[in-house]
């Protein structure tokens, strides 16, 4: 005789569930927006001032080196956001947490934007440095592929009507993607060395400490910008879903009333 139980996990609200509940999130994150705006603007002003007026020109690249202060932070965000999405995916699949769904969904367009910015600034930088806008260099190729992955995820989100079901499925492909990224990077580098024995190396920039300071400030500023945009987009998405749910409730009520008559 076998005795088996299938029990739905009884949710005990711990502190994390409390603050991560979508409704709660709406309440406490409201107080986050203004400080975030202030921090972001201030760090951007300081960072840009440093970048434009208080950092040296590169002895080879001249003034164009200043593109780096936009390029490096956006390139960093392009990868950071994907990792964040992957972590949210685990939250969505394992704990079925609605906030993880929302975080994952709104991060994709942001990630795509920062990745596109990284590619664009990279191209602008490449023109004076390498003499061409586009070079099939390992890093640029990997970043391009990352952009394609972001765009694919956005397209996938858009093609589902039921966003709750979409979340879990997008989460799966996001995770498959994050496992794949190192392999893709490795293969692209391998392919790159195969075809052009490193004439161009993007590592060859000498970095004096005067460049570090503005770079780190800009990195911080961009990360703050992302957190601000992400928080705000998550709030919008939660409110939109709430509105949706209310609307559906109303429709159900109305049609139900008709049936009873």
Partner 1 sequence: MQQQQQQLRVNNLSLERSGRQILSDINFALKEGEALLLRGDNGVGKTSLLMSIAGYLHINSGEIEWEIKRDTKREEGEEWGEEEENLLIKNLHFIGHQQAIKPHLTLEENLLFWCQLYGGEEKWVQEALIRVGLANAISYQAALLSAGQSKRLSLARLLVANRPIWLLDEPSSALDKNGDKLVADLIDEHLDGGGIAIIATHLNIELKNKKRIKTLMLKAI
Partner 2 sequence: MRVFLAIIKRDIKLAAHSIGDMLTLILFFIMVGVLVPIAIGPDKEFLANIAPGIMWIAAFLSSLLALDRIFRPDHEDGSLLAMRHSAISFELIIFAKLIAHWISAILPLILATPMMALMLNMDMRNFINSVISLIVGTPALIAFGAVGAAITVSLKRGGLIAPVLILPLSLPILIFGVSSIKINVGAGTQEAALLILAAISLIAVSLTPFATALALRLTQE
Q: How much is the CA Rg of the chain, to the nearest whole Å?
A: 23
| Residue 247 Cβ vs partner 1, minimum distance, rounded to whole Å | 12
Which member of 190, 205, 210, 212 binds partner 2 (CB under 8 A)? 190
Residue 155 partner contact from partner 2, partner 1, none using kind-dependent CB cut-offs of 5 to 8 Å: partner 2
At 114, list the tokens.
Answer: 């920062």
Fill in the per-residue mask, 74 to 103: x = in contact with partner 2 (CB under 8 A), - = not in contact.
-------------------x----------
Residue 155 lies near partner 2 (rule: CB under 8 A): yes
Q: How far apart, in whole angstroms, are the C-alpha atoms of residue 179 and residue 173?
A: 10
Binding of partner 2 by 188 (CB under 8 A): yes
Which of 83, 245, 247, 250 forms a contact with partner 1 (CB under 8 A)? 245
- Selected binder of partner 2 within 26, 39, 145, 227 (CB under 8 A): 145
Q: Which residue in the set 137, 148, 162, 206 belongs to the binding site for partner 1 (CB under 8 A)?
A: 162
How far is residue 257's CA from residue 261's CA, in Å, rounded to a whole number? 7
Answer for which of 1, 13, 199, 261 binds partner 1 (CB under 8 A) is: 1
| Residue 248 makes contact with partner 1 by CB under 8 A | yes
Residue closer to partner 1 (CB basis): 14 or 201: 14
User: Assign residue 96 a region: left if phi > 0, alpha if psi is -120 to 50, beta otherwise?
Assistant: left
CA separation for the pair 75, 45 (Å, rounded): 20
What residue 4 binds from partner 2, partner 1, none (CB within 5 to 8 A, per partner kind)?
partner 1
> Counting beta carbons within 10 angstroms of the beta carbon of residue 95, is it exposed (0 to 12), middle (13 to 18) or buried (19 or more)?
middle
Query: Is the CB of 171 or the CB of 211 nearer to partner 2?
Result: 171
Alpha-carbon torsion, ordered 141, 84, 164, 144, to 10 deg: -10
- Residue 81 and residue 114 in contact, taking contact as beta carbons nearer than 8 Å: yes
Backbone angles phi, psi at 61, to 5 degrees: -95, -10
Please report, as ranges, the residues that interact with partner 1 according to CB under 8 A.
1-8, 10-11, 96, 162, 164-165, 241, 245, 248, 252, 256, 259
């Amino acid at each position: 005789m076998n005795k088996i139980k299938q029990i739905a996990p009884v949710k005990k609200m711990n502190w994390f569930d409390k603050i991560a509940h979508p409704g709660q999130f709406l309440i406490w994150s409201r107080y986050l927006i203004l400080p975030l705006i202030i921090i972001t603007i201030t760090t951007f002003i300081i960072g840009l001032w440093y970048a434009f007026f208080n950092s040296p020109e590169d002895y080879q690249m001249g003034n164009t080196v200043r593109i780096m202060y936009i390029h490096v932070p956006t390139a960093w965000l392009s990868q950071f956001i994907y990792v964040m999405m992957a972590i949210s995916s685990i939250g969505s699949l394992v704990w079925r947490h609605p906030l993880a769904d929302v975080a994952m969904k709104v991060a994709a367009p942001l990630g795509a934007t920062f990745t596109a910015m990284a590619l664009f600034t990279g191209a602008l930088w490449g023109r004076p440095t390498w003499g061409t806008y586009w070079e099939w260099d390992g890093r640029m190729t990997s970043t391009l592929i990352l952009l394609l992955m972001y765009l694919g995820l956005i397209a996938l989100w858009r093609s589902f009507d039921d966003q709750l079901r979409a979340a879990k499925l997008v989460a799966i492909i996001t995770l498959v993607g994050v496992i794949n990224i190192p392999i893709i990077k490795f293969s692209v580098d391998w392919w790159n060395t195969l075809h052009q024995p490193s004439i161009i190396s993007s590592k060859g920039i000498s970095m004096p400490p005067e460049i570090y300071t503005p770079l780190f400030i800009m990195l911080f500023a961009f990360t703050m910008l992302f957190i601000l945009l992400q928080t705000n987009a998550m709030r919008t998405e939660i409110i939109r879903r709430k509105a949706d749910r209310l609307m559906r409730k109303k429709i159900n009520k109305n049609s139900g009333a008709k049936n009873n008559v």
